[in-house]
Amino acid sequence: MITGGTKGIGRAVALALGEVGYDLILTYGGDVEAAVDVERELRRLSSGCDVRVLRADVADAGSVDLLHDYLVGNDMYVDAVVFNAGLTCRAPFESMQREEWERVFAGNVHFPVFLLQRIVGRIREGGSVTFTGSLMGIRPHSVSLAYGVSKSSVHALVGNLVKFLAPYGIRVNGVVPGFVETQWHEGKPQEIRRSIEGKIALGRFCAPEEVAGVYRMLIENSYVNGEIIVVDGGYSYK
Ligand SMILES: NC(=O)c1ccc[n+]([C@@H]2O[C@H](COP(=O)([O-])OP(=O)(O)OC[C@H]3O[C@@H](n4cnc5c(N)ncnc54)[C@H](OP(=O)(O)O)[C@@H]3O)[C@@H](O)[C@H]2O)c1
């Protein structure tokens, strides 16, 4: 199960897993066209993977019940959950509204915790949970306070969940992307983009496929547990 699995990083992870035969449940927030598109592409794969695509807004607490009920109603168990969908709020610090702050935390932190609480019994022993964090949760920036702080919480969740999930035989890890070429950066002014590229040792944004392989490794390796893997092209070295 991949939240936010219809575009960008989530879509690339879905394709990387679908190609090798994983059955997939992908969730999305509201862009039906992108959902139909990834479903079509996955059904075309020769691996013959099964694909279900569900609309489930991570900012809406009701989505926890929706996804839980879907698994139970279809008597489904999963091997891996990827908590990938993330929210931000770019309002200036001075005018940021409490509701916007709460929405970001609801989607990035509360939703995964309470979905996991409901479906932990539906994740098979030997399975895994993988979170999508963000470099902004490690290196504070000036665009979104709510995003940076909530992603730091996502990183903290990884370590803190290890002992809670160990009795179920479930591992938990996180991927921390730097700057990945997705719709997330749509409309970013060229000068800001160039300034970011100037700070990355590799001098460019990451392709979604490059980061997708890390998720697959974390899902398939049976001994990596409680780790955060930073995939930032060497941002820290420049
Ligand atoms: N791109 C980067 O440089 C970068 C860097 C670090 C971390 N990240 C993190 O990576 C994750 C994915 O980002 P991305 O760059 O792949 O973004 P993206 O290309 O915009 O894709 C976002 C995916 O999440 C879904 N989504 C958005 N809002 C949602 C909501 N309220 N409820 C449920 N699903 C929702 C989207 O579906 P709809 O469009 O239908 O809503 C889509 O499937 C996020 O957690 C982000 O914080 C991204």
- Residue-wise pLDDT for 133-157, tens only, equals 999 999 998 889 999 999 999 999 9
Residue with tokens 């609309």: 55
Q: Is the CB of 16 under 6 A from ligand 1?
A: no
Please state whether the predicted TM-score (pTM) of the whole model is above 0.95: yes
Distance CA 209, CA 25 (A): 19
Instruction: Note the pLDDT tens digit of each residue in 93-145.
Output: 999 999 999 999 999 999 999 999 999 999 999 999 999 999 999 999 888 99
What is the CATH architecture assignment of 8-237? 3-Layer(aba) Sandwich (3.40)
Domain coordinates in residue numbering, the chain: 8-237
Ligand 1 pocket test target in 182, 197, 209, 231 with most atoms within 8 Å of CB: 182
- Give mean pLDDT, residues 156-166: 98
User: Of all protein residues, whose CA lies closest to atom 47 belonging to ligand 1?
Assistant: 86
91 pLDDT higher than 80: yes
Task: Tell whether ligand 1 has an atom less than 6 A from the beta carbon of residue 189.
Answer: no
